[in-house]
Structure 1
Amino acid sequence: MLNNHPSQLDTIPTSTNQFHLKAIVYVLVIIFGLGTWTNLGGLWVELPIIVPILPESWQLPAKLILIINAANIFPIIFVFASIIFKLNTSIFEIPVNYIILLASTALAIAFACLWNKTEYLFGTNQSIYLMYLCFFSAIGDCLSSTTFIPFLHRYEPFYLNAYFTGEALTALLPALLGIIQGIGKSECTMLDSKINGTFIQVYRPPRFSVRTYFLILSSLPIAAFLAFSGLYLMKTGRMEKKISIKKSKHHQSRVFILMDNNIEDMHAIQNTIKTINKIENQLENNKKKNQWTTIITSETVIYLFVTFQQSMMIYGICPGLTTFSLNAYSATTFHYTIIANSFACPLMTLVGTFIPEVSSKTIGAFLITHIGLFVYIVLTAKMSPCPPLVSTILGPAIIFFVWILIQLIGSYIRILMGNYFRKTKDHRGLVWFSLATQTGALFGSLTMFILTVNVQLFKERNICDNASQCF
């Protein structure tokens, strides 16, 4: 009697194992996402510690952000070249991903060893090694955006969310490590009581060094490399390749059937095919012309300008103002504001998932608020070394929340613009969106570099110099 009933025991382990394998792939994709932007994200968290040590001092962020944005042009050139020459980049994705992950690991170790090495150049000591490392890290990180995500097109769509989770963690994990590390302390110590009571600034290091920080951080690209190797070897989660019978552009299989039955009509059929070809080619040419004319509409131009302007402020100018706007209050304000800003983009990415679109009036309100916050940040930087309310508890609190809000609103506006171009202009719109983002960031960083390094519009604050005290 028992043999008459089919056993269900064999089906349960199979489905359970399949679920477990998919869960493993999901985790591997998250870890794979950790392979991008960790080095530069970690460097930005370390700025409050390295700025007082390196010879560029408060001008360092303006120089670094220009180098990073300049390096970002190379991936854009690569994308346009692949479009113009119709290159099949899929065959390069796997080897390039391996190279990027290995290079990211090597660069993290190089950051640990060379971040404070300087060379005498153009009459002053300069952090040449750090700048070279930033340049090559930026090339690799931006290039990863053109190879990591396309690699995941082999997988089921929901795995892409896992990758974005990993990308968000590249901002959170360096920030959390920075919280554990701490900021250290700067104290004023009397150099010699006999010489007019001269004071010098003495820096007390944090819980562990910058070298240790980057060595710990190098574990993230190593983990991403191992996860990518696992994904390459496993087949779970990949979409099945559909076997399709190749058909010609005009369904010639039907024509061949007619030809088999009516050989005498071959000449007439061939003329018909030529006529169809001419009509379809004309329609395709008209379609291409319409794509170029419809993409440049009034709303599109406005949103492209918004993207350019927001990128110029949030990615070009603001990073170069961090020292003058924040460090003038205190190193502690600088440190914890930079760390808190690392949480802004992942948080707004989550918000953008649930609220991907808002009305144009809401976008306008966001823009006005964002510009107002930006003006206050520029004002505090221009008034350095004595920004508003610098000697009170309220001043650091206000500037902290201003920086958090400008990052939150700026990140959300960028998400809204990206969703708009993806929805209304498809792939071509995303290309224009990326181009406006990059050119805006580059223009902003170049402007900031000129104002900070060449014009020297902003001034540092020496907490031990009585002449720079704010009363």
Structure 2
Amino acid sequence: MSFITHVLACLFGMGSWVTICGLWVELPLIVPQIPEGWYLPSYLSSLIQMANVGPLFITLMHRFRPGLLSEATVIYFIISFGALASFLLAFFWKETVMVQGTERSVPLLLLTFFISVVDCTSSVTFLPFMMQLKPEYLTTYFVGEGLSGLVPALVALIQGVGVVHCLNVTQTFNISEASAQSRNINESESTRYVLRPHYQLPNFSVEAFFFFLTAMMVVCLVAFLLLNYHPAVARERPKSQHSISFTKSDDTVSHHTKGTSESRPMISSLSGSQKPRGLFGKGTYSWMQVIYIFVILAWANALTNSVLPSVQSYSCLPYGNKAYHWSATMAAVANPMACFIAMFYSQRSLVLMGVLTTIGTAIGAYIMSMAALSPCPLLVHDAFGTLIIVGAWIFFVLSLSYVKVIIGVILRDEGHSALVWCGAVVQLGSMLGALTMFPLVNVYNFFSSGDPCNTQCP
């Protein structure tokens, strides 16, 4: 295997979700300066799922107009568009617009939608492109996809995102004359000391962070160019790559060798002799097993991409700002860690897949319970409670990320179209999770955030 191809596949994978992941870790700096406040995470989850119009359009185009769009064309466009949107965020993220008499961060939300379209569309384009390379490089791609969350988190830690200190401030308030007499106070005004959160200035600005995300997208674009044209990568392609063309006037299937992805359709227009009729992919799994795999894939992505991220601040902030940052950072570490484990221990047991999904779901239920109990979850004033919530986030992401990687490896062996369906199910699960959480967070106010300095819990 070529080391340079591994590096390029990793860098290519890093561009898949780096902009959205970067936006999430930058929230503690963004939230205090916009009118939406901590409702922003649930807004972002909904916008990300609305962005599934991108993969839906691509999938429909290749279902009804196969061959009209090529993987390379779409990927070049979405990476370039993502870099442009990230660049514009640096200038417009805190601009507001009056909407029905209320200030709203319309530029931020609009640009977030654009970068979400880019990242969501990567699920149905980047993965199928990896079929161009040997199977070993798919796991490397997943490592890069995991690093798309870890790298921005580490940069945010260096930046000093959202470090808060509780400071005593003097507050003056008016009291009634009767109340003053009853308390033997001669003045109509009194003062008291209260704790107020004071956010430490970051080491560099939000604008600089968005420029960093732009640079990451440019790196992804360069990596994709080299994956297409570098001689070392060309040697790592399978010896026989065929696309299938079918003419309406004849039942003959003709094969044409393709050296690059420039004109490769993302979904083959014919299954024909490539797989047993009536079976999914190569026919390795029964339809019940295929449904089982896709249900687990949708469930795992619903939990990791939308359901739990919508309540991460509620589950962690009651334990302190450090708990929130450590849980976000270490969860980002757990994702590529799961991919590294899969590189050396690629266990494809469907039973193990179900067991790990059950474990991850149980841990997710604990995290959701702590979010529902916010601002006074279990062991809120105990260091052990902080350790548990951080550990819960780590093992939650670790278990379900391993499941997602193994499913990706399984579907890669089932063929090109199986990976396209993989990306579509990933986005479907994420969308259903977001649609479930948005009313709970924003309409019914099921979750409550506490003051980091003044919350009183028994």
Normalised by the length of structure 2, the TM-score is: 0.78
Q: Which amino acid is 2:202 matched to?
A: P
What SS does structure 2 have at the residue aligned with 1:89? coil
Residue 292 of structure 2: aligned partner: 302
Looking at structure 2, the residues matched to 199 and 305 of structure 1 have their Cα atoms a distance apart, in angstroms, of 48
Looking at structure 2, the residues matched to 302 and 233 of structure 1 have their Cα atoms a distance apart, in angstroms, of 38
What SS does structure 1 have at the residue aligned with 2:199? strand
Looking at structure 1, the residues matched to 355 and 226 of structure 2 have their Cα atoms a distance apart, in angstroms, of 46
Pick from 60, 76, 80: which aligns with 2:60?
80
Answer yes or no: is the 8 Å Cα contact 2:120–2:427 preserved in 1.
no
- Cα–Cα, structure 1 residues 180 and 242, in superposed 2: closer, same or farther, change >3 Å? closer
Looking at structure 2, the residues matched to 191 and 358 of structure 1 have their Cα atoms a distance apart, in angstroms, of 62
Looking at structure 2, the residues matched to 358 and 182 of structure 1 have their Cα atoms a distance apart, in angstroms, of 40
Answer yes or no: is the 8 Å Cα contact 2:338–2:401 preserved in 1.
yes
Q: Which amino acid is 2:204 matched to?
A: F
Looking at structure 2, the residues matched to 75 and 298 of structure 1 have their Cα atoms a distance apart, in angstroms, of 26
Looking at structure 2, the residues matched to 112 and 160 of structure 1 have their Cα atoms a distance apart, in angstroms, of 33
What SS does structure 2 have at the residue aligned with 1:206? coil
Tell me the alpha carbon deviations over residues 186-216 of structure 1, each in whole angstroms, 9 at most, x when there is no partner.
4244243534445543322222222222223
Pick from 376, 390, 395: which aligns with 1:386?
376
More helix by share: 1
Answer yes or no: is the 8 Å Cα contact 2:90–2:206 preserved in 1.
yes
- Cα–Cα, structure 1 residues 469 and 41, in superposed 2: closer, same or farther, change >3 Å? same
Residue 70 of structure 1: aligned partner: 50
Answer yes or no: is the 8 Å Cα contact 1:40–1:137 preserved in 2.
yes
What SS does structure 1 have at the residue aligned with 2:449? coil
- Cα–Cα, structure 1 residues 427 and 28, in superposed 2: closer, same or farther, change >3 Å? closer
Q: Which amino acid is 2:44 matched to?
A: L
Answer yes or no: is the 8 Å Cα contact 1:48–1:331 preserved in 2.
no
Residue 342 of structure 1: aligned partner: 332
**CA-CA distance at 1:82 after TM superposition:** 0.7
Paired residues, what number?
412
Residue 263 of structure 1: aligned partner: none
- Cα–Cα, structure 1 residues 57 and 427, in superposed 2: closer, same or farther, change >3 Å? same
Residue 457 of structure 2: aligned partner: 470
Are 2:88 and 1:110 equivalent residues in the alignment?
A: yes
Q: Which amino acid is 2:290 matched to?
A: T
Structure 2: tracts of 5 or more residues without a match: 173-189, 254-271
- Cα–Cα, structure 1 residues 316 and 150, in superposed 2: closer, same or farther, change >3 Å? closer
Tell me the alpha carbon deviations over residues 337-377 of structure 1, each in whole angstroms, 9 at most, x when there is no partner.
11111112211112122222254443343233222212211
Looking at structure 2, the residues matched to 228 and 418 of structure 1 have their Cα atoms a distance apart, in angstroms, of 20
**CA-CA distance at 1:393 after TM superposition:** 1.0
Tell me the alpha carbon deviations over residues 265-301 of structure 1, each in whole angstroms, 9 at most, x when there is no partner.
xxxxxxxxxxxxxxxxxx9799544559x87733333
Are 2:16 and 1:36 equivalent residues in the alignment?
A: yes
What SS does structure 1 have at the residue aligned with 2:355? helix
Residue 372 of structure 1: aligned partner: 362
Looking at structure 2, the residues matched to 331 and 243 of structure 1 have their Cα atoms a distance apart, in angstroms, of 52
Looking at structure 2, the residues matched to 391 and 125 of structure 1 have their Cα atoms a distance apart, in angstroms, of 36
Q: Which amino acid is 1:374 matched to?
A: G
Residue 100 of structure 1: aligned partner: 78
Tell me the alpha carbon deviations over residues 67-93 of structure 1, each in whole angstroms, 9 at most, x when there is no partner.
112213421331232133222433x61
Answer yes or no: is the 8 Å Cα contact 1:39–1:108 preserved in 2.
yes
Are 2:206 and 1:219 equivalent residues in the alignment?
A: no
Looking at structure 2, the residues matched to 362 and 23 of structure 1 have their Cα atoms a distance apart, in angstroms, of 31
Residue 455 of structure 1: aligned partner: 444
What SS does structure 1 have at the residue aligned with 2:152? helix
Looking at structure 2, the residues matched to 139 and 469 of structure 1 have their Cα atoms a distance apart, in angstroms, of 42
Looking at structure 1, the residues matched to 293 and 14 of structure 2 have their Cα atoms a distance apart, in angstroms, of 31
What SS does structure 1 have at the residue aligned with 2:84? helix
Answer yes or no: is the 8 Å Cα contact 1:44–1:338 preserved in 2.
no
Are 2:434 and 1:445 equivalent residues in the alignment?
A: yes
**CA-CA distance at 1:230 after TM superposition:** 5.2
Normalised by the length of structure 1, the TM-score is: 0.76
What SS does structure 2 have at the residue aligned with 1:218? helix
Looking at structure 2, the residues matched to 141 and 358 of structure 1 have their Cα atoms a distance apart, in angstroms, of 27
Looking at structure 2, the residues matched to 201 and 296 of structure 1 have their Cα atoms a distance apart, in angstroms, of 57
Tell me the alpha carbon deviations over residues 207-227 of structure 1, each in whole angstroms, 9 at most, x when there is no partner.
222222222332222333444
**CA-CA distance at 1:165 after TM superposition:** 4.8
**CA-CA distance at 1:420 after TM superposition:** 4.1
What SS does structure 1 have at the residue aligned with 2:107? helix
Residue 436 of structure 1: aligned partner: 425
Question: 1:395-410 counterparts in 2 under 5 A?
Answer: 395-410=385-400
- Cα–Cα, structure 1 residues 137 and 403, in superposed 2: closer, same or farther, change >3 Å? same
Pick from 207, 212, 236: which aligns with 2:203?
207
Moved more, 36-45 or 96-105: 96-105
Answer yes or no: is the 8 Å Cα contact 1:64–1:131 preserved in 2.
yes
- Cα–Cα, structure 1 residues 154 and 308, in superposed 2: closer, same or farther, change >3 Å? closer
**CA-CA distance at 1:153 after TM superposition:** 5.7
- CA RMSD in angstroms comes to 3.5
Moved more, 214-223 or 224-233: 224-233
Answer yes or no: is the 8 Å Cα contact 1:189–1:201 preserved in 2.
no
Structure 1: tracts of 5 or more residues without a match: 1-18, 252-282
Looking at structure 1, the residues matched to 411 and 6 of structure 2 have their Cα atoms a distance apart, in angstroms, of 29
- Cα–Cα, structure 1 residues 230 and 81, in superposed 2: closer, same or farther, change >3 Å? closer
Q: Which amino acid is 1:449 matched to?
A: F
Q: Which amino acid is 1:450 matched to?
A: P
Residue 159 of structure 2: aligned partner: 181
Answer yes or no: is the 8 Å Cα contact 2:14–2:144 preserved in 1.
yes
Looking at structure 2, the residues matched to 180 and 286 of structure 1 have their Cα atoms a distance apart, in angstroms, of 51
